[in-house]
């Protein structure tokens, strides 16, 4: 199996994670639920509004991608043992991304969107990582400082 | 064609029908689920009798052994009556637990009679008790499904109502419209908003439209795309579009996402947007006197 990955290292350490929520992604309502859960968990831990808005937007992009390109999937929202980072893992069962570098380019789109979601989500997250291969689905890991 | 395993239970249901209805009512009273506050005695009795009648009919016609299946056509009557009774009771404020207990209360009168009838045949007694348990449990669970389906319908209906409610186009002044967006802007809603907006522009001969996104908490690329498309359509109709209510947070995320608003005017508040709009249509806001 040939995986391609890109982005900066995600988890600051390998400490055990606590799962806060796990949601399935099927419709755009699930996208709303995912980003609201992320925003709620961050706010509950006193994260600044700007960080919350940034990360909720990033999660919204990735969750929507899973539905539009990946035929739906699942999203897990976790927190590290030291409660410093919120980590989100979004997995879909779609056809995967053939060329991650290309998909990251501004304006590159296969579904008529703006083509800025993936690169934008990376910029809006602290850590960001994609594991994908054609036909293997896509796994996006992203994190935000609390 | 009755099955051998249901002969006893069928006999009980046929010969002792009205007594079972009464005892069932009694157990419901005992369990505190009859809800005399919500239903008259006559109503409760009628509901129980109808349920028991369809139950007996199902037992007579359906396969109740290995391949018992509530979806079977033989249970159609019972499913329908059960759904009606559940909906009626839920409408009047009965909880799902009460509804399930209401159905499960049927076991007591049936078990008592089976015991009396099969006193010297413990093996058959256990078999029939198990059988009745399985049937009655399945119906109790079914009431829960009906309950959930009913709730989901309510939620779906409310969602649709909200969809319509939340896209009002308001005339602020002569030829100035505003569209206050609240919540999320998914594709279905964006479509609704757009149609509504363009129609109103035509009707009111609007020249300026203020799309206010103060109440939109997240602007991701999809929402941005919908907004920009709406702005483009407004412009095609000869009106000017101002997007207002862009908070510092939204501004930052939009920059990070690399969203280019192009020539669409944006304002941080609806207040400044209104001042601009009035200027465009030839009015100005003036202070009347010092106060």
Distances (CA, A) of B65 to A68, B54, B124, B189: 46, 18, 13, 50
User: Chain A: residue nearest B159 by CA?
Assistant: A29
User: Is residue A40 within 8 angstroms of chain B, CB to CB?
Assistant: no
User: If DSSP codes are grouped into helix, strand and coil, which group holds residue B162?
Assistant: helix
Domain ranges across chain B: 4-161, 170-280
pLDDT confidence bin for A10, thresholds 50/70/90: very low
Q: Residue B114 — left, alpha, or beta (φ > 0 → left; ψ -120 to 50 → alpha)?
A: alpha
Strands B265-267 and B240-244: parallel
pLDDT confidence bin for A1, thresholds 50/70/90: very low
More confident residue, B263 or A12: B263
User: Chain A: residue nearest B219 by CA?
Assistant: A57
Each residue's pLDDT tens digit, B63-72: 666 567 777 8
User: Is residue B186 within 8 angstroms of chain A, CB to CB?
Assistant: yes
Contacts of A33 in chain B (CB under 8 A): none
Helix axes B221-236, A49-68, angle to 10 degrees: 80
Fold match between domain B4-161 and domain B170-280: no
Strands A127-132 and B208-215: unpaired
**pLDDT for A11:** 47
Contacts of B217 in chain A (CB under 8 A): 39, 53, 56
Q: Do A54 and B186 touch (CB under 8 A)?
A: no
pTM for the model stands at 0.66
DSSP letters along B28-40, please?
A: HHHHT-S-TTTS-
pLDDT confidence bin for B217, thresholds 50/70/90: confident
- Topology (CATH) of B170-280: Transcription Regulator spoIIAA (3.30.750)
Is CATH 3.30.565.10 the classification given to domain A4-145? yes
Contacts of A116 in chain B (CB under 8 A): 221, 257-259
Closest approach of A42 to chain B, Cα-based (Å): 15
Is CATH 1.10.490 the classification given to domain B4-161? yes
Q: Do B252 and A54 touch (CB under 8 A)?
A: yes
Residue A14 predicted with pLDDT over 70 = no
Q: Do A50 and B257 touch (CB under 8 A)?
A: no
Domain ranges across chain A: 4-145
Each residue's pLDDT tens digit, B43-56: 888 888 999 999 88
Closest approach of B137 to chain A, Cα-based (Å): 30
């Amino acid at each position: 199996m040939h995986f391609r990955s890109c982005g900066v290292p995600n988890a600051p350490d390998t400490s055990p994670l606590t799962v806060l929520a796990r949601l399935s992604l099927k419709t755009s309502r699930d996208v709303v639920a995912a980003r609201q859960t992320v925003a709620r968990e961050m706010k509950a831990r006193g994260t600044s509004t700007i960080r919350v808005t940034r990360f909720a937007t990033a999660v919204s992009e990735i969750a929507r991608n899973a539905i539009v390109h990946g035929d739906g999937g699942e999203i897990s929202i976790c927190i590290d043992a030291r409660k410093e980072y919120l980590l989100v893992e979004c997995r879909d069962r779609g056809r995967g991304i053939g060329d991650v570098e290309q998909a990251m380019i501004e304006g590159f789109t296969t579904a008529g969107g703006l083509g800025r979601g993936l690169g934008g989500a990376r910029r809006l997250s602290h850590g960001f990582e994609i594991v994908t291969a054609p036909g293997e689905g896509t796994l996006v890991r992203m994190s935000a400082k609390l | 064609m009755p099955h051998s395993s249901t002969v006893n239970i069928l006999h009980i249901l046929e010969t002792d029908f009205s007594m079972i209805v009464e005892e069932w009512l009694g157990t419901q009273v005992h369990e505190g689920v009859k809800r005399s506050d919500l239903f008259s005695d006559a109503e409760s009795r009628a509901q129980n009798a109808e349920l028991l009648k369809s139950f007996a009919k199902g037992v007579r016609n359906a396969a109740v052994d290995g391949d018992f299946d509530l979806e079977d056509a033989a249970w159609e009557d019972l499913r329908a009556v059960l759904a009606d009774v559940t909906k009626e009771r839920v409408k009047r404020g009965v909880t799902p637990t009460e509804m399930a207990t209401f159905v499960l209360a049927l076991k007591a009168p049936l078990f008592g009679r089976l015991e009396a009838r099969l006193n010297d045949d413990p093996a058959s007694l256990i078999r029939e008790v198990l059988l009745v348990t399985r049937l009655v449990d399945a119906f109790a669970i079914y009431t829960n499904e009906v309950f959930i389906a009913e709730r989901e319908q309510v939620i779906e209906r409310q969602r649709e109502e909200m969809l319509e409610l939340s896209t009002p186009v308001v005339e602020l002044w002569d030829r100035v419209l505003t569209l206050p967006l609240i919540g999320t802007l998914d594709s279905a809603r964006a479509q609704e908003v757009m149609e509504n907006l363009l129609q109103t522009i035509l009707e009111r001969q609007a020249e300026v439209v203020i799309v206010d996104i103060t109440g939109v908490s997240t602007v991701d690329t999809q929402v941005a795309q919908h907004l920009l498309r709406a702005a483009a359509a407004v412009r095609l109709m000869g009106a000017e579009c101002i997007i207002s209510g862009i908070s510092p947070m939204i501004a930052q995320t939009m920059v990070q996402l690399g969203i280019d608003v192009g020539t669409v005017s944006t304002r941080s508040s609806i207040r400044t947007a209104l001042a601009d709009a009035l200027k465009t249509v030839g009015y100005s806001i003036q202070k009347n006197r010092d106060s």
